[in-house]
């Protein structure tokens, strides 16, 4: 069974913990200590395959945020959360995107599975960031980033975030595994010189002597 590390990042107060706990425990938490950095494990089934998710819910406060960089390098997929009711949290998302690329030693355009989450969809009347703006931001983050709006309170689209991220990770991991398989085959395949040497050292069968039968 595959095991993937998921890192959840975003500014303080956007609902990272509420989103994660809603997914893991199917419950909504009104209040949560923003300085706590916690991790959760959950076995899920996506498209018929069982996967173990190790989800790290990072602290949103600036003084604690830097600690998450230690884990980002080992992350297989990332969730960047902002609040659709707070423009500043949306404007902070490129900072987290850059930190992910840095931690993964990746360049722009590389396939790093990321879901950009616009949370607090239940507060539609307070919306300050349009859905189109979120989708446009995801495009700026590359072809391998999707934007999904959620409500950690009502659970709307919460499962979809993590399931879609697992599909993206499966795609990346599958490509890398295939590349490693091809490299291994090429490494084990003899070169032209080796083939010639093998051919020249293979002993040739001796011609059979003809026997003369005297009647």
Q: Give the tens place of pLDDT for each residue, 105-134.
A: 877 768 899 999 999 999 999 999 999 999
Mean per-residue pLDDT for 6-31? 92
Across the chain, which distance is largest between two alpha carbons, in Å? 115
Domains delineated in the chain? 2-176 (3.40.50.300)
Distance, CA of 76 to CA of 166 (rounded, Å):
9
State the sign of the Cα–Cα–Cα–Cα dihedral 159, 75, 132, 84.
positive
| pTM for this predicted structure | 0.79
SS3 content of the chain, % helix, strand, coil (to 5): 45, 20, 35
Tens digits of per-residue pLDDT, 155-203? 999 999 999 999 999 999 885 555 444 444 555 555 555 555 555 555 5
Tokens of 182: 């091809």
Q: Is the pLDDT of residue 146 over 60?
A: yes
pLDDT at 138: 97
Cβ-based neighbour number of residue 169 at 10 Å:
23
Task: Determine the average pLDDT of the residues in 21-36.
Answer: 80
Which residues 6+ apart lie within 8 Å of 93 measured at CB?
10, 80, 82, 116, 137
Mean pLDDT, rounded, of the chain: 82
Question: Would you state the pLDDT for residue 114?
Answer: 97
Decide: 11 and 89 in contact? Cβ < 8 Å: yes
């Amino acid at each position: 069974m595959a095991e993937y590390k998921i890192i959840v990042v975003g500014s303080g107060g956007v609902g990272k913990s509420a989103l994660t706990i809603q997914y893991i425990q199917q419950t909504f938490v009104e209040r949560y200590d923003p300085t706590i950095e916690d991790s959760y494990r959950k076995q899920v089934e996506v498209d018929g395959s069982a996967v173990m998710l190790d989800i790290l819910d990072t602290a949103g406060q600036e003084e604690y945020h830097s600690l998450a960089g230690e884990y980002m390098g080992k992350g297989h997929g990332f969730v960047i959360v902002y609040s659709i009711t707070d423009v500043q949290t949306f404007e902070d998302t490129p900072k987290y995107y850059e930190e992910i690329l840095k931690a993964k030693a990746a360049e722009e355009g590389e396939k790093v599975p990321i879901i950009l989450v616009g949370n607090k969809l239940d507060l539609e009347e307070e919306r300050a960031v349009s859905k189109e703006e979120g989708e446009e931001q995801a495009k700026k983050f590359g072809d391998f980033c999707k934007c999904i709006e959620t409500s950690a309170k009502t659970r709307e689209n919460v499962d979809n975030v993590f399931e879609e991220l697992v599909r993206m990770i499966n795609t990346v991991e599958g490509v890398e595994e295939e590349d490693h398989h091809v490299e291994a085959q090429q490494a084990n395949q003899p070169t032209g010189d080796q083939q010639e040497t093998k051919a020249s050292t293979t002993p040739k069968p001796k011609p059979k002597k003809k026997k003369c039968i005297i009647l």
